[in-house]
Structures are given as structure tokens and as C-alpha cells.
């Protein structure tokens, strides 16, 4: 299996899904997963994008057996470093009569294209240069006349035996003789991809359905090379809620975006696997379970709609399954620098039941970490008596309280309120308001534990509740 991204931007969520499917298929069948960088687009390819793609794949938990950073027996693994191989094989196809030089100018090709479209046909090369005698073509090239190399495509029907879609047929006029080497000497995409798949021993290729027309062209390259083609599986595309292509108008679209928003890699991988694969009611799956249970044949060919609400639900499920230490660390990473350990522990416990992604931590924690702004709520002013009692209880306790101590403190406060004839809500709501400025929020036990004694007393004093 191989994943072959182009380093022209970040790792799109759809491309990450393709990488995941290839990885899972390889691991499930005990095969190898190869990472290949298709950087023949020199104008748009950048090393920073390659580094970003590799980092995002590692973050997702995908590990490759061969690639540009780990090497392997079929390297190099960047297409820009394989140019001589492409040129050599292309010239071999010319010598064998399976390819030929084309000297048509861009202007002529555009005229042919416009005429074909006007006649209601499918644009394809009309084969003008295919009849040029080999000796004449060689002489013109030797004289320096610009030429591309085109594959001589047989006029036959083509069959893609797809692992997801079943047999997909293409007629003999689906495409014409296409370019395998440009006049600059750079290999065309379909030629380079097929050559690399052959040279790297790729047996199966999983990619999006938008590559079906590329696949049939690559079958023509394999035929010309006299090599067996891989088996192909073309999964559905990821669409937005309106049925259109998933793009920036929907918000996050790259793995980097989702990382910054604080999603867990396990949840992203879990969600991407389920986009076209039904696993019944048992949907919270680790990467190891996905490796063991994933079946490429079980993928649906229907379009997959990206549902952020479903992703949020899955991410919450994975958050709830994390060990406490990892959860606290991930919360701490989103809190202001210098937040003390007792506050981190309390906030981690406070936010966990409702947290859908770690990117929510700063906003959710802010009311607890910072004194409430603005004027004092009238409900706080009316609760002077009970808040004074809480201040006295808090003043007698330690600077920081763990969960058990905070529960004991609040229990003592409730007991006092009951004896004083104060309803629980009238005792606790003003306390929440004076500590956070909000009517609702996390369990008050964790709010009390997350605020140091000195800070809590200062907030009570500001509200006029603490006695001096």
C-alpha cells in the first residue's frame, strides 16, 4: 500500500482519510505501508508542506514502513529525485513504439479542443503526431524542436476491477494519447505514479473516486510497460452538509486545523474510518481495533457527509476514555502559562464531563481562573449573610483544596444553610455567581478546588460578603 501526497499545502481531511484507509488495509493484511511524496509540481511544492504532512500523519498515529525520512529498498521516495528513471523508461517506450514525440503547439491543441467541444465531443488528443515516422521524429528532437512524449493508447475497452465499486468500464474513446513526459523533461502525473507503483511493488491502491479517470490511464501505462497493475479501490469523497466539496467555508478542512482546535488524533482517525464504514452501534474504536477489524470491501460507495456534531461526540467519548494523567496534561497545555498544579487538576476534573475538544478549555476555564468582571449581581448582594458564612469556612481551610476537601467544605456549608433555613439553591447559586460570574458551569466542588483560598476570599470580599 502507498499514500502519495503532493506537498502543495496542508494535509486535507479527505487526503488523511485516504492515508488512513491505505494504512488500515496494509496493517490488517500484514502488508507494508509506503509514504511517497509526489512533488513533480516544482512551482507549488514546498519542503515546509512536506514536513507538515509528515507531522500530521504521525500525529494521527500512522507509521510507514518506507518513506523519505525512513528510507527503504525502493527509494528514493520523492518523485523529484526519480526523474532519470522516468526519462529512461519513457525513452524505452518510444523505442518500442508504445510512445512517440508530439510537436504540437499549445495553440494548435487549444484549437482542436475548442472544435471538439463545439461538436459535442470529449476533448482528447487527435493523434496528429502519432503518424510521424520514428526517424523523422528523432531528427526533429535532435535538432532541438520542443516535444512532449505521448503514450500510444490502444483503442480498447478498459476495466477497473474495483474492490469497493465492482467492475467499472471505460470505452475506447474515453481518452486519447496522453502526455507522459513534458517538453521540460518532467514526467506527467499518471506516468510517474504508475512507474513508481511498479518499481515499489505496490499491490493495492486505495484512493478517492475522483481518481477513477487517472486509474484507467495508469492501466494503459502498465500495459505499455508489460507490468501487472495493482488492485484498486476508489472510496467516496467527503462532502459538506450542502452536498458540495468540503472547503474552507465549512471551517476546518486540514488535519492542522483540527489539531489546533484540540481534537484527539484517535477521535479523528475513528471518525474518518466511519465516514463510509458502518460498525453498528459500537462506534468508539481505537486505532488498534480499526487495524484488526477494518474491511475495505465494507466501505460504501455513496458520498460521505462530514458531520461536525458526530465528530464532537466521538471526541468526547475518547476524552472520557483517556487516563487521568494524559487528560490533565492536555488540559494544562491549553491553560494560561503558570497555572498551578492544584488548579489544573481541579479544572481537568471539572471540564471533563462536558468537554468535546481540548480547544474549548481556555474559554471554559476563564470564568474560574479570572475574577468575574462587571458589577455585582443583585442576587449576590441579597445573599450577604450566607456568603459571609462561606467566607468564614473557606478562611479556616487550606490554601488549596483537593476534591475530597472541597466536598467536605461544601457539605459543611450546606449543613449550615439547612440549619439556618436557607434553601440549597439560595446558598449555592450566589456562591457560584460570586466565584465565576455565571449561573451555570462545572460541578461547584471542582470550582472551589480550582480557586486558591486567597483568590476565593478576594472575590467574596469584592462582592462585599467577607467579614474582616
Active site residues: 248
**Domain annotation covers residue 363:** yes
| CA 131 vs CA 23, 96, 97, 100: distances in Å | 45, 15, 11, 9
**Domain annotation covers residue 186:** yes
Question: Is residue 269 scored above 80 in pLDDT?
Answer: yes
**Domain annotation covers residue 438:** yes
Task: Supply the DSSP string of 161-177, one letter for each residue.
Answer: EETTTEEEEE-TTS---
CATH number of the domain within which 115 lies: 3.40.50.620
**Domain annotation covers residue 206:** yes
Considering the entire predicted model, what is its pTM? 0.92
CATH number of the domain within which 444 lies: 1.10.10.350
In three-state secondary structure terms, 252 is: coil
Structural domain count, the chain: 2
CB 56 within 8 A of CB 35: no
What is the pLDDT confidence band of residue 251, given thresholds at 50, 70 and 90? low
**Domain annotation covers residue 71:** no
End-to-end distance of the chain based on CA atoms, in angstroms?
72
| Average per-residue pLDDT for the chain | 94
Could you tell me if 93 and 224 lie in one domain?
Answer: yes
Could you tell me if 195 and 339 lie in one domain?
Answer: no
Could you tell me if 88 and 219 lie in one domain?
Answer: yes
| CA 363 vs CA 108, 277, 325, 358, 370: distances in Å | 60, 34, 22, 10, 11
The whole-number average pLDDT for the span 394-410 is: 97
Q: What is the pLDDT of residue 466?
A: 38
Q: How far apart are CA 208 and CA 189, in angstroms?
A: 16
Q: What is the pLDDT of residue 248?
A: 58
Q: Which of 202, 235, 268 is the last residue of a domain?
A: 235
Instruction: Give the tens place of pLDDT for each residue, 292-331.
Output: 999 999 999 999 999 999 999 999 999 999 999 999 999 9
Sign of the torsion angle spanned by Cα atoms 297, 302, 304, 310: negative
**Domain annotation covers residue 59:** no
The whole-number average pLDDT for the span 333-349 is: 97
Could you tell me if 227 and 370 lie in one domain?
Answer: no
Could you tell me if 90 and 230 lie in one domain?
Answer: yes
**Domain annotation covers residue 370:** yes
Could you tell me if 224 and 344 lie in one domain?
Answer: no
Q: What is the pLDDT of residue 175?
A: 92
- 135 is in which domain, residue-wise? 83-235
Minimum mean pLDDT range among 240-249, 252-261, 327-336, 405-414:
240-249
Q: Which of 211, 235, 259 is the last residue of a domain?
A: 235
Q: Which of 210, 235, 260 is the last residue of a domain?
A: 235
C-alpha closest to that of 62 among 291, 257, 226, 231 = 291
For 76, list phi and psi in degrees, rounded to 5.
-75, 165
What is the pLDDT confidence band of residue 131, given thresholds at 50, 70 and 90? very high
**Domain annotation covers residue 293:** no
The whole-number average pLDDT for the span 147-168 is: 96
Question: Is residue 247 scored above 70 in pLDDT?
Answer: no
Could you tell me if 202 and 346 lie in one domain?
Answer: no
Could you tell me if 119 and 231 lie in one domain?
Answer: yes
Query: Rounded to an integer, what is the distance from CA 184 to the centroid of its chain?
Result: 34
Amino acid at each position: 500500500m502507498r499514500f502519495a501526497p503532493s506537498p502543495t499545502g496542508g494535509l486535507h481531511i479527505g487526503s488523511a482519510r485516504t492515508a488512513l484507509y491505505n494504512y488500515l488495509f496494509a496493517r490488517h493484511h500484514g502488508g507494508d505501508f509506503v509514504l511517497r511524496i509526489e512533488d513533480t509540481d516544482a512551482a507549488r511544492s514546498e519542503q515546509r508542506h512536506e514536513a507538515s504532512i509528515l507531522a500530521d500523519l504521525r500525529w494521527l498515529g500512522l507509521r510507514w514502513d518506507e518513506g523519505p525520512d525512513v528510507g527503504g529498498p525502493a527509494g528514493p521516495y520523492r518523485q523529484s529525485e526519480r526523474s532519470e528513471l522516468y526519462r529512461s523508461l519513457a525513452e524505452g517506450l518510444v523505442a518500442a513504439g508504445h510512445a512517440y514525440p508530439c510537436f504540437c503547439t499549445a495553440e494548435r491543441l487549444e484549437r482542436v479542443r475548442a472544435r471538439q467541444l463545439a461538436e459535442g465531443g470529449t476533448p482528447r488528443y487527435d493523434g496528429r503526431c502519432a503518424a510521424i515516422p520514428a526517424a523523422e521524429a528523432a531528427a526533429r528532437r535532435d535538432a532541438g524542436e520542443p516535444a512532449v512524449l505521448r503514450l500510444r493508447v490502444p483503442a480498447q475497452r478498459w476495466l477497473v476491477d474495483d474492490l469497493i465499486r465492482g467492475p467499472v468500464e471505460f470505452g475506447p474513446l474515453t481518452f486519447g494519447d496522453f502526455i507522459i513526459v513534458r517538453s521540460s523533461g518532467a514526467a506527467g502525473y499518471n506516468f510517474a505514479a504508475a512507474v513508481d507503483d511498479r518499481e515499489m511493488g505496490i499491490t493495492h491502491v486505495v484512493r478517492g473516486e475522483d481518481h477513477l479517470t487517472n486509474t484507467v490511464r495508469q492501466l494503459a501505462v502498465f500495459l505499455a510497460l508489460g507490468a501487472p497493475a495493482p488492485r484498486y479501490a476508489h472510496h467516496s469523497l467527503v462532502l459538506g452538509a450542502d452536498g458540495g466539496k468540503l472547503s474552507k467555508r465549512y471551517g476546518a478542512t486540514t488535519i492542522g486545523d483540527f489539531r489546533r482546535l484540540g481534537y484527539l488524533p484517535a477521535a479523528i482517525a475513528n471518525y474518518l474510518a466511519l465516514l463510509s464504514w458502518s460498525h453498528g452501534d459500537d462506534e468508539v474504536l481505537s486505532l488498534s481495533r480499526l487495524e484488526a477489524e477494518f474491511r475495505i470491501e465494507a466501505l460504501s460507495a455513496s458520498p460521505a457527509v462530514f458531520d461536525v456534531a458526530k465528530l464532537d461526540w466521538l471526541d468526547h467519548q475518547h476524552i472520557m476514555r483517556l487516563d487521568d494523567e494524559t487528560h490533565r496534561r492536555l488540559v494544562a497545555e491549553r491553560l494560561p502559562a503558570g497555572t498551578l498544579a492544584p488548579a489544573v487538576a481541579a479544572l481537568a476534573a471539572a471540564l471533563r464531563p462536558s468537554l468535546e475538544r481540548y480547544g474549548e478549555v481556555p474559554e471554559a476555564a476563564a470564568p474560574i481562573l479570572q475574577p468575574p468582571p462587571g458589577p455585582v449581581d443583585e442576587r449576590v448582594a441579597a445573599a450577604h449573610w450566607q456568603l459571609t458564612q462561606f467566607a468564614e469556612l473557606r478562611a479556616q481551610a487550606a490554601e488549596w483544596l483537593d476534591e475530597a476537601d472541597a466536598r467536605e467544605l461544601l457539605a459543611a456549608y450546606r449543613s449550615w444553610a439547612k440549619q439556618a433555613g436557607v434553601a440549597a439553591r439560595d446558598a449555592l447559586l450566589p456562591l457560584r455567581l460570586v466565584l465565576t460570574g455565571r449561573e451555570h458551569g462545572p460541578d461547584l466542588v471542582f470550582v472551589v478546588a480550582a480557586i486558591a483560598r486567597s483568590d476565593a476570599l478576594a472575590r467574596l470580599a469584592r462582592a462585599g460578603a467577607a467579614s474582616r
